[in-house]
């Protein structure tokens, strides 16, 4: 899009000696008070260059530039040049840009193909994929889309928790009470039941504990039977996880998981030793992080087994070697803040300058209000059940609203699942929040259904125009050479301004690792469109005016669609 500050600099530049266009651009500001113009240029710095008083310079410059097409008017006020941008010019610029960029509108090439790793979701094998996993899954997926949209090469990693002593227990439990059919019918629920039973029976039968330890040791040695059982448990769990990912249209490029790094750990431990970082403490090997105000990083436990942090060290080093990332992002709950501080600090102490490129994107907790989702003590709420409930509830709502009957299945899915995902991305990620169905599915609130509905409404306006007037679908170049004065009303102009700032929202979301910046922005675009839709008559008889209004409708729809896409939420054409 035309960078307006740059345009202004271009216009001013021939009249200012001794300053580059870039320097001029840097001085152009957006006044807090809009009555001082859309943009302002302070003349203080010119006083020395031009040997004149700033107010005089402002007055002279105003005279020289006021007739440029870019401006509605230019007013010198004291040392400032206050510039009001021509609304019609601005509107044309914005619409042309959206029409020509289309699905790319809001994106850029700033990433220049640099590699970014986004690790997200990372549930634990044989454990429930529950509501607590939704945030990492949805935020991570959105960050992947945002970085991709800005021209980065993104590797999506699922660092599955597929290793640890619990697999010894699981294998033992399965050997005692398990059935293959039972597991295959409902892997996680069944495996979880075995695991719970193991813990109960273990209390009365210590030999089980010993057996489990032995099974895990065998797994570590890579013995055939244990390895196969573990692999089978992993595969069955993954099938179930994938079903949930498919519902949300989420995928990964790398599913390595913790087990993948076990054979890479000894080298890391050796390296820590060589670099003089390891210390013994009560039989364990640790890295002392006290000088940095952190508790010690435990590298191997007293029984010699390795732990989570050590696998993460091996994994970070492997990621750098394999992908040569410019950034490695971990989307993991704030409960693990300390873990990631320790991890990054140890990498730094090992002398890896790229430790600074590792980012922990943390987030707060989801809780459930008692009753609605049934959080009865200890009962886990499976993510899949939440998504299915969302679809069912949406079906009830849309049936009541009387939607197109053929679309009912598709709409309930798109809107129901979209609503849950959208909700995850609605407020700042660091905030804890309470999951509330009424809020999530409110078609009139600041919700997914509201934004999707607005998108479908835009599409429907365009369809009606085609049916009633035979208007062709808007395409690149359509905003050139047509009268846009009908788009200068407050409702239309506010909407145009929101569309104009969409690319900034995308960039801001990327810089802050905060998809909610985009969510908030498209909610405003949707609200802006609905205001325009209610305040004005779009399908007027005057062909040129109708065309202008349809272009704005189209640009709103495109902006909403691109925004929803970055959140991983579908944009239905009809609802």
Closer to ligand ARG by CB, 115 or 310: give it: 310
Structural tokens at position 532: 């325009």
Closer to ligand ARG by CB, 111 or 123: give it: 123
Q: What angle do CA 488, 566, 253 make, to 5 degrees?
A: 160
Interface region with ligand ARG, contact rule CB under 6 A, candidates 119-127, 204-212, 215-223, 236-244: 119-127
How many Å separate Cα 415 from the centre of its chain?
19
Interface region with ligand ARG, contact rule CB under 6 A, candidates 118-126, 167-175, 397-405, 412-420: 118-126
Does residue 161 touch ligand ARG according to CB under 6 A?
Answer: yes
- Select the residue whose beta carbon is closest to ligand ARG and give its number: 161
Say if CB 239 and CB 140 are below 8 A apart. Answer: no
Say if CB 411 and CB 449 are below 8 A apart. Answer: no
Closer to ligand ARG by CB, 163 or 502: give it: 163
- Minimum CB–partner distance for residue 37 and ligand ARG (Å): 49
Does residue 265 touch ligand ARG according to CB under 6 A?
Answer: no
Beta strands across the sheet bearing 284-287: 278-281, 284-287, 297-300
- Minimum CB–partner distance for residue 144 and ligand ARG (Å): 15
Place of tokens 């029984």: 303
Closer to ligand ARG by CB, 159 or 546: give it: 159
Structural tokens at position 174: 């399965």
Say if CB 163 and CB 311 are below 8 A apart. Answer: yes
- Stated length of the chain: 575
Does residue 344 touch ligand ARG according to CB under 6 A?
Answer: no
How many Å separate Cα 102 from the centre of its chain?
21
- The residues annotated as belonging to the active site are 127, 130, 133
77 beta partners: 80
Structural tokens at position 289: 């992080």
Does residue 260 touch ligand ARG according to CB under 6 A?
Answer: no
- Chosen residue from 43, 332, 361, 569 binding ligand ARG by CB under 6 A: 332
Closer to ligand ARG by CB, 119 or 478: give it: 119
Interface region with ligand ARG, contact rule CB under 6 A, candidates 116-124, 357-365, 456-464, 518-526: 116-124
Closer to ligand ARG by CB, 312 or 545: give it: 312
Helix (H) or strand (E) holding 415: helix 408-424
Helices (H), 150-289: 166-177, 180-185, 187-204, 206-221, 224-248, 265-274
- The DSSP secondary structure of 328-386, one letter per residue, reads EEEE--GGGHHHHHHHHHHHHHTT-GGGGGEEEE----EE--TTTS---TT---BHHHH
Instruction: Report the alpha-carbon distance of residue 71 to residue 83 in Å, rounded.
Output: 7
Say if CB 293 and CB 287 are below 8 A apart. Answer: no
- Chosen residue from 124, 209, 262, 388 binding ligand ARG by CB under 6 A: 124
Instruction: Report the alpha-carbon distance of residue 185 to residue 356 in Å, rounded.
Output: 45
Interface region with ligand ARG, contact rule CB under 6 A, candidates 122-130, 170-178, 446-454, 543-551: 122-130
- Minimum CB–partner distance for residue 334 and ligand ARG (Å): 12
- Minimum CB–partner distance for residue 358 and ligand ARG (Å): 10
Closer to ligand ARG by CB, 62 or 154: give it: 154
Place of tokens 């289309």: 102
Interface region with ligand ARG, contact rule CB under 6 A, candidates 29-37, 121-129, 263-271, 281-289: 121-129
Interface region with ligand ARG, contact rule CB under 6 A, candidates 30-38, 85-93, 120-128, 292-300: 120-128
- Chosen residue from 159, 319, 327, 547 binding ligand ARG by CB under 6 A: 159
Interface region with ligand ARG, contact rule CB under 6 A, candidates 84-92, 115-123, 280-288, 498-506: 115-123
- Minimum CB–partner distance for residue 132 and ligand ARG (Å): 8
Buried b (16+ CB within 10 A) or exposed e, 270-300: ebbeeeebbeeeeebbbbebeeeeeeebbbb
Closer to ligand ARG by CB, 127 or 497: give it: 127
Task: Considering only residues 295 through 314, tell me which ones interact with ligand ARG, judged by CB under 6 A.
Answer: 312
Closer to ligand ARG by CB, 123 or 449: give it: 123
Three-state SS across 484-517? CHHHCCHHHHHHHHHHHCHHHHHHHHHHHCCCHH
285 beta partners: 280, 300
Does residue 330 touch ligand ARG according to CB under 6 A?
Answer: yes
**Count of residues of this chain found to bind ligand ARG when the rule CB under 6 A is applied:** 9
Task: Please name which of 258, 71, 13 lies closest in space to residue 158, comparing C-alpha atoms.
Answer: 258
Closer to ligand ARG by CB, 161 or 565: give it: 161
- Minimum CB–partner distance for residue 235 and ligand ARG (Å): 18
- Minimum CB–partner distance for residue 383 and ligand ARG (Å): 13
- Minimum CB–partner distance for residue 217 and ligand ARG (Å): 22
- Minimum CB–partner distance for residue 343 and ligand ARG (Å): 8
- Minimum CB–partner distance for residue 173 and ligand ARG (Å): 20
- Chosen residue from 82, 91, 96, 122 binding ligand ARG by CB under 6 A: 122
Q: What angle do CA 164, 429, 122 make, to 5 degrees?
A: 20
Cα separations (Å) of 244 from 114, 133, 336, 491?
A: 30, 11, 24, 41
Instruction: Report the alpha-carbon distance of residue 572 to residue 445 in Å, rounded.
Output: 18
Instruction: Report the alpha-carbon distance of residue 260 to residue 158 in Å, rounded.
Output: 12
Closer to ligand ARG by CB, 106 or 123: give it: 123
Say if CB 58 and CB 43 are below 8 A apart. Answer: yes
Say if CB 340 and CB 360 are below 8 A apart. Answer: yes
Task: Considering only residues 490 through 519, tell me which ones interact with ligand ARG, judged by CB under 6 A.
Answer: none
- Minimum CB–partner distance for residue 119 and ligand ARG (Å): 6
Q: What is the DSSP letter of 276?
A: T
Binding interface with ligand ARG (CB under 6 A): 119, 122-124, 159, 161, 312, 330, 332
């Amino acid at each position: 899009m035309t960078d307006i500050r740059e345009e202004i600099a271009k216009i001013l530049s021939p009249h200012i000696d001794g300053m580059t266009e870039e320097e001029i651009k840097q001085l152009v500001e957006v006044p807090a008070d809009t009555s001082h113009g859309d943009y302002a240029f302070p003349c203080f710095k010119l006083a020395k260059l031009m040997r004149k008083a700033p107010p005089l310079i402002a007055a002279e410059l105003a005279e020289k530039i006021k007739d440029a097409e870019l401006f509605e008017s230019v007013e010198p006020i004291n040392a400032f040049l206050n510039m009001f941008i021509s609304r019609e010019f601005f509107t044309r610029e914005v619409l042309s840009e959206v029409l020509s960029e289309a699905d790319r509108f809001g994106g850029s090439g700033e990433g220049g193909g640099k590699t970014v790793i986004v690790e997200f979701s990372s549930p634990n094998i044989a454990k429930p994929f529950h509501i607590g996993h939704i945030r990492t899954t949805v935020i991570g997926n959105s960050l992947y889309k945002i970085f991709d949209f800005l021209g980065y090469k993104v590797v999506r990693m699922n660092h599955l928790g597929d290793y640890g002593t619990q697999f010894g227990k699981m294998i033992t439990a399965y050997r005692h009470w398990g059935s293959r059919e039972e597991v295959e019918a409902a892997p996680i629920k069944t495996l979880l039941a075995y695991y719970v039973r193991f813990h109960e029976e273990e209390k009365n039968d210590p030999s089980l504990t010993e057996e489990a330890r032995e099974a895990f040791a065998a797994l570590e040695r890579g013995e055939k039977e244990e390895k196969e059982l573990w692999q089978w448990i992993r595969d069955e769990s993954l099938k179930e996880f994938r079903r949930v990912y498919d519902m949300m249209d989420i995928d990964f490029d790398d599913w390595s998981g913790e087990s993948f790094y076990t054979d890479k750990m000894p080298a890391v431990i050796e390296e820590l030793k060589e670099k003089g970082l390891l210390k013994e403490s009560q039989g364990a090997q640790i890295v002392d992080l006290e000088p940095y105000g952190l508790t010690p990083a435990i590298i191997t436990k007293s029984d010699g087994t390795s732990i989570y942090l050590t696998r993460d060290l091996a994994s970070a080093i492997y990621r750098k070697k394999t992908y040569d990332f410019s950034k490695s992002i971990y989307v993991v709950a704030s409960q693990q803040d300390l873990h990631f501080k320790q991890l990054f600090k140890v990498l730094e102490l090992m002398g890896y300058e790229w430790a600074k490129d590792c980012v922990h994107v943390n987030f707060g907790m989801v809780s459930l209000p008692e009753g609605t989702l049934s959080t009865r003590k200890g009962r886990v709420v499976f993510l899949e059940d939440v998504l299915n409930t969302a679809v069912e509830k949406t079906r009830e709502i849309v049936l009541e609203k009387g939607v197109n009957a053929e679309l009912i299945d598709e709409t309930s899915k798109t809107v129901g699942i979209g609503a849950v995902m959208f909700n995850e991305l609605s407020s700042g990620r660091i905030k804890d929040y309470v999951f509330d169905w009424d809020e999530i599915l409110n078609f009139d609130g600041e919700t997914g259904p509201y934004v999707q509905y607005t998108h479908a409404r835009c599409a429907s306006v365009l369809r009606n125009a085609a049916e009633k007037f035979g208007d062709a679908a808007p395409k690149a170049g359509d905003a050139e050479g047509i009268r846009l004065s009908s788009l200068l009303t407050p409702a239309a102009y506010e909407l145009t301004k929101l569309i104009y700032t969409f690319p900034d929202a995308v960039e801001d979301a990327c810089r802050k690792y905060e998809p909610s910046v985009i969510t908030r922005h498209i909610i405003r675009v949707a609200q802006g469109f609905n205001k325009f839709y209610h305040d004005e008559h779009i399908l007027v008889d005057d062909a040129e005016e109708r065309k202008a209004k349809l272009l704005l409708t189209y640009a709103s729809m495109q902006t909403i669609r691109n925004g929803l896409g970055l959140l991983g939420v579908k944009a239905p054409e009809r609802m």
